[in-house]
Amino acid sequence: MTDRSAALKPREDAGRATAENGVVILDGPNGIAVTMTADAAAKTADSLQEAARQAREHPASDEVARDAPGDEFASGWPQE
């Protein structure tokens, strides 16, 4: 598996989740959207919470964050 942490410039703006017609829609920047079942959204939420906890415990150094490439499409959510 590739080391994605070194290859992506992280977004600072959060996605927004809404529920419509029995599904969850996660909207990201520039019109990026993902539609999930309620179960898939709940599992995603759990996974995101755990990953956020781990990231806070082991933050990237300023040097790593500064050296991240600026490719606006690298993360899948284009930079604005």
Whether the predicted pLDDT of 78 surpasses 80: no
Phi-psi region of 22 (alpha: psi -120 to 50; beta: other; left: phi over 0): left
Radius of gyration of the chain (CA): 14
Q: What is the pLDDT of residues 21-58, one digit of tens each?
A: 999 999 988 789 999 999 999 999 999 999 999 999 99
For 49-62, the pLDDT digits (tens) are: 999 999 999 988 75
DSSP-derived secondary structure letter, 60: P
DSSP 77: S
Q: Which long-range contacts (CB under 8 A, 24 or more apart) does 42-47 make?
A: none
> Tell me, what's the pLDDT at 80?
45
